[in-house]
Amino acid sequence: MNSAASTWLPVSQVISRNLSVFEASSSLLVVNAPEIGVWQQWSADTVLHFFSQDFRVHSELRLAGFQSHFAAVVNELPDNADVLLYWPKSKELARMLLSMLLSHMETGRQLWIVGEHQEGVKSAAKILLEDHEIELSKLDNARRCTLYRVTVDRAFPVFDIETWLHYSSVVLDDTELQVVSLPGVFSLGELDEGTALLLPNMKLPEQGRVLDFGCGAGIIGAVAKRRNPQLDVELIDVSALALESAKRTLAQNGIEALVYPSNAWSDIEGRFKVVLSNPPFHTGIKTDYRAVTELIAQARKKIVYDGWLEVVANAHLPYEGWLQEQFKRVAVVAETTKFKVYSARG
C-alpha cells in the first residue's frame, strides 16, 4: 500500500487490494463511493461510471475527470455494466439501493458490495436473501470491512421510488405541515428535537432572501415560507436524497421555494438576509464537523450587513466559540438540556 492509500478510509483500502477483481468488467458503475483516491489509481481498460447521492463526492469526481451522475435514484445503467455498491449506514437506504440497482441489472452481471462492519455491511446477506432470494459470496474480509459478490440470475421487479417515500405531519402554530422523506434523510419520519426547538424560536425578516442550509427534508425552509410567503426562500444540501425529499415536501404543501445542491457555499451566489440551519455533524456513523465549520467560517460574507445566522446544535458541541470567532454578537435565544439555538450578528 502506498503512503497516500494509508490515509484512505478502510473501505477504500479494501477496494485497493481487490482492484483486479473488477478488471474483467467491460463497464463498471460505482455507486456512492465515499472518496475518490482509490479510483485515481485505476489503469484497467474497464470503463468507469460513477453514481453519487453526495454532491461533495460527485463534484470531486467530475473535477478529476470521471463520469459521474448526481441524483436520488438510478434510472438506467450504462450498457453491459457491472455494479459496485458502497454500503450505507441506513439499512432502509441499503434496501432501497439494492432494489433500485437489481431492477436495472441484466442477467449474468456482477454486483459487488463493500462496507464497514460498524456500518452494518454484514446485514447485506440477510437483506438480499429476505428481499430478493439471493445468496452472497464473500471475497475479502479486512480492515473491519467485507467485500461481497453476487451474480444476477434473473430479472427483478421495476423500481418505484413512490413505494419508498415516508409521510409524516408536523403541527406548528395550529398549522399542519406534511413532510416527505426518503431513506437516508436525517430524522426520517419524525421531527428531530433540534429542529423542534429552532422552529418556534427562529426570527424571520419581513422580506429578503432566506437560506435553509443543510435542508434535509425541507422542514425549516418550508416553515419559513409558510410563515412569510413574501420571503425568497432557498434550500441547499449535499444529499440528493434530501433535495428530492425537500422538493416533495414543498410540493405536498403547495409551497414554492428554490431547491438546489451545494457543498456548503460552493454553488451559492449573492447574500442573504437570514441563514437558518440545523447542520449535520456526522458522515455515516463518524463525527464530521466539515459542514458546520464551513457554514460558520463563511456565513458573515454571505449575510447582508443587517442580517443574521440562526443555528441549532447539541448543547455539548462547541458552536458558541466558533460563532464568537466570526461574529461580534452571539446569543443563545432558546435552549433545553440537550440543544441550544444560537443567533449571530455583525
Residue 187 pLDDT: 78
Q: What's the pTM? A: 0.95
Residue 282 pLDDT: 44
Cell, residue 76: 438506467
**222 within 8 A of 175, measured Cβ to Cβ:** no
Bridge partners, residue 235, by sequence: 212, 259
Helices (H), 167-318: 193-198, 219-227, 240-252, 290-302
Helices (H), the chain: 10-16, 19-22, 55-63, 91-104, 124-132, 193-198, 219-227, 240-252, 290-302, 319-326
Residue 208 pLDDT: 97
How many other β-carbons are positioned within 10 Å of the β-carbon of residue 149?
A: 18
How many other β-carbons are positioned within 10 Å of the β-carbon of residue 81?
A: 21
> Can you tell me which residue has the cell 459470496?
137
Residue 1 pLDDT: 52
Q: Which domains are seen in the chain, by residue range?
A: 5-161 (3.40.50.150), 165-345 (3.40.50.150)
Residue 3 pLDDT: 57
Per residue of the chain (346 residues), give pLDDT as tens.
555 677 999 999 999 999 999 999 999 999 999 999 999 989 889 999 999 999 999 999 999 999 999 999 999 999 999 999 999 999 999 999 999 999 999 999 999 999 999 999 999 999 999 999 999 999 999 999 999 999 999 999 999 999 999 999 988 877 789 999 999 998 777 789 999 999 999 999 999 999 999 999 999 999 999 999 999 999 999 999 999 999 999 999 999 999 999 999 999 999 999 999 998 764 555 556 777 889 999 999 999 999 999 999 988 888 899 999 999 999 999 999 999 999 999 8
C-alpha span between 316 and 122 (Å, rounded): 33
Backbone φ, ψ for residue 166 (5° rounding) = -110, 135
